[in-house]
Amino acid sequence: MMYSVIMAGGRGTRFWPASRRQRPKQLLTLFGQRSLLQRTVDRMAPLTPPERVVVVTAADHAEALAEQIPQVPAKNILVEPEGRNTAAAAGLAAAWVARRDPSAVCLVLPADHLIDDEGLFLSTFERAAEAAAAQDALITMGLKPTFAATGYGYIEIGPVLEPGPPALHQVAAFHEKPEPAVAESYLAGGRHLWNSGMFAWRAEVLLKEIEVHLPSLAEGLAGLAEDLGTERQEGTLARHYPRLPAISVDYGVLEKTKNIRVVAAEFGWSDVGSWEAMAELWDCDGQGNACHQGEIVGHDAKDNLVSAGGRLAVLLGVDNQVVVVTDDVVLVMDRSRGQELGEILKTIKDSGLDDHL
């Protein structure tokens, strides 16, 4: 038995002002006709029917999320009263699944990624699921890097355990986001994969690993488990979930356990992490100007990204800018400074402009 566990609690602040507290990035339609969340649920359908899809989300956008995926039963949407990072979210989903079938494999993935080759993605996830079902181990998906990325963590691969394809490796080490020279060496060496944030594990195995490495989280989850899937669930989560330790599953479990394997994947992937990333996803004119939801007329303007909200955007004498128009906000920023949006949002909050967050 397999369940898809979709992590949909993030706010996507680097996609502000389109991404908001009530409508975060995963609920946006950034390309095509379906939101990132809808595309994720659609993508997993060949492996898990809607009744075996579990979504972990935040209270602020739970209602809007449920409206987008009516095929997923309401009881399968687990609402965090307060975000406690990915170890708590993954543990909550595993505890919910374990109430039904402790030996079920959880296919864990974010709600807001883009996959190029969905057929290869599914076959790779099936490979990871087979390994998770057969071994008392946590399986992570590592992606073959296509450039020397400094914005991703890396997984250093160890010996091949099963040749595949795709191959299953022992994990030698996890590495933080590297400096450019280090990223170049990772790319050249061929022994490092991008850490994709996608996993496969049996519910009981993850809960056991949490018990070993994060005992306070295990104790908290054990106190919640009995009420999961009952009419008491919401109240129990409200009382106890905010007291769970806030730590990522990578730091709290994956980097500590010896029972970790990695499947080497090559299905083409983007975490769609910022406005700048859309340069590779939106159509561009001859000057590298990319536009979404609108039209561009440019003169002496190049390498700009515009989300025009259905309007005509006229660009004159500007380069390397991001322009985003919503009903109540206009954002104009240099393409290289998207990482500073978090500071801007703090300033907006401190200025009493919370309605714009």
The string of DSSP codes covering 220-269 is HHHHHHTTTTSTTHHHHHHHHGGGS----HIIIIITT-S-EEEEEE-S-E
- Amino acid occupying residue 251: Y
pLDDT number for residue 24 = 87
pLDDT number for residue 293 = 83
pLDDT number for residue 103 = 97
d(CA 1, CA 332): 48
Among 88, 128, 121, which Cα is nearest to 106's? Answer: 128
Q: Map tokens 């490495």 to a residue.
A: 213
Per-residue pLDDT tens, the chain, 357 aa: give them: 999 999 998 877 888 888 887 788 899 888 878 999 999 999 999 999 999 999 999 998 899 999 999 999 999 999 999 999 999 999 999 999 999 999 999 999 999 888 889 999 999 999 999 999 999 999 999 999 988 888 889 999 999 999 978 999 999 999 998 999 999 999 999 999 999 999 999 999 999 999 999 999 999 999 999 999 899 999 999 999 999 999 999 999 999 999 999 999 988 888 887 888 887 788 888 899 998 888 889 999 999 999 988 899 999 999 999 999 988 999 999 998 888 888 988 999 899 888 888
d(CA 178, CA 166): 26
Helix (H, G, I), strand (E, B) or coil at 314: strand
Would you kindly state where each structural domain of the chain is located, as residue ranges? 2-270, 275-356
Domain 2-270 has CATH 2.102.10.10: no
Instruction: Name the DSSP letter for residue 287.
Output: T
Backbone Cα Rg of the chain: 21
> How many residues does the structure list for the chain?
357
pLDDT number for residue 32 = 79
Phi/psi of residue 83, nearest 5 degrees:
-65, 130
d(CA 252, CA 295): 46
Residue 160 makes CB contacts below 8 A (sequence gap 6+) with 167, 168, 169
Helix (H, G, I), strand (E, B) or coil at 154: strand
Do 152 and 178 contact (CB within 8 A), yes or no? Answer: no
Instruction: Name the DSSP letter for residue 302.
Output: B
